[in-house]
Amino acid sequence: MTDGVQTQGDGAVVAVRGSVLDLRFAQDGLPALNEGIAVLWDRPAALTAEVQSHLNTTTVRAIALQDTAGLRRGTPVRRWHGPLTVPVGDGVLGRLVDVMGNPADGGAPLPADAPRRPIHRPAPPLARQNPRRDPFETGIKVIDLLAPLARGGKAAMFGGAGVGKTVLVMELIRTMVERYTGISVFAGIGERCREGQELWEEMGRSGVLARTALVFGQMNEPPGARWRVGMTALAMAEYFRDEAARDVLLLMDNVFRFVQAGAEVSGLLGRLPSRVGYQPTLATEVAALEERVASVPGAVVTAIQAVYVPADDFTDPAVAELFSHLDSSIVLSRAMAAEGLYPAVDPLTSTSMLLDPLHVGEAHCRLAEEVRRTIAQYRELQDIIALLGIEELSASDRRVVGRARRLMRFLTQPFLVTEPFTGRRGMSVPLAATIAGCRAILDGETDDWPEQALYMTGSLDDARTGLKQREAAS
């Protein structure tokens, strides 16, 4: 066997370096960038790769989406004559599949006649997109009040390791999918096997698995698989949006691992790194993923994403780039998590484009601003309190501190998904109850309550009932 083009197939492998393959073709048969390649090796299924660069007039460099152990030079390859395609439609609902759409849940193969769609597609033209953004109530107090999510928008949870991103996403999955009448597509980008198993079981228990498709590119898979799994999920979501005219809830955990996989691929391809070692194509790759999350008249795609923040550095280029594509940014605070204030959503740095009188009303906006201002005053006074004690503050400052601490505890909430671990009954709180509770705290109605009475409760009425029960028991 030689390095030249083989008689079977369109070309041949001429070099293998981990996930990077150099492939030789006839001069008039060079595949395009992002075209799929099937490597016809001695396994039951062909190895799938994707063209990333042209080295010369006869050779391309591709990234394999599966493990290449055992692949030899000279192995014949065949062109797809187009981008990689994956199965879509009702057949993928209730199933867990890999980046190529192959079942990974141990179930039956997908129907042979399932429609297929390319993983690379342009976003809908602006003239076709629906710019309307309506608030989407989640039942999570701090989010609905300070960083409301948009139906048909893009939201992300930003935080370092161990501050509760995945738990918050799991709670949003449970509460939103139960209220959501459309289809859900979950993309597990670089997920651990344990996390995938827990999500699968949780969705089965909550009865939403039948209208959910799960796509996983696990942490132990090659970087090419982790890099493209988000595109596979988008292809499925776009089918339901465009062909079936159904609303889609797109969930991605963790988008930072998409960027990380892209950096690995870029390094394997020999590109010089950019800032902080990221790939020079960072902005293009993030835009190619995020800009496809778009709504059209008759169907919307609502995206909820988790984003790991390396070393809690929010100036990291990947994090900064992701911020620019979002409607709502929910920032998780390590300091709040250390205090046990869960969800550890930072009320001062979390933002939403919907927090505007045109979207949520004048009263909601004024209250959110007052809550933020009160908590900001408290944080400014924390250094003085630590040095001199709260007794050295003026009466008005002590009042602000007391109300801010009560607000922060009132905005904590027990989650449905954590019931088995905490023993606390999970609660979903209507926005009206959240607004009424915060208004009462700011007006001083709870000034004589112990702070603990407002911690990990639902509405103010729930807190009042709990306080009466504790007083009766004592």
The catalytic residue positions are: 165, 191-192
Q: Who contacts 347 (Cβ-Cβ below 8 Å, separation ≥6)? A: 142, 146, 371, 372, 375, 408, 411
What are 19's two structure tokens? 């996930």
- For the beta sheet containing 351-352, the strands, ordered from the edge strand earlier in sequence to the opposite edge, are 96-97, 212-218, 183-191, 248-253, 301-308, 154-159, 328-331, 351-352
* 343 DSSP assignment: S
Token match 């339901």: residue? 240
Beta strands (DSSP E) in 152-211 are 154-159, 183-191
Contact 100, 65 (CB under 8 A): yes
Q: Is residue 11 within 8 Å of residue 81, measured between CB atoms?
A: no
Could you tell me which of 356, 327, 351, 331 has the C-alpha nearest to residue 153? Answer: 327
Q: Rg (Cα) of the chain, in Å, rounded? A: 25
Q: Identify which of 125, 124, 61, 51 has the alpha carbon closest to the alpha carbon of residue 82.
A: 51
3-state secondary structure of 172: helix
Pairing assessment for the beta strands 36-39 and 76-79 based on DSSP bridges = antiparallel
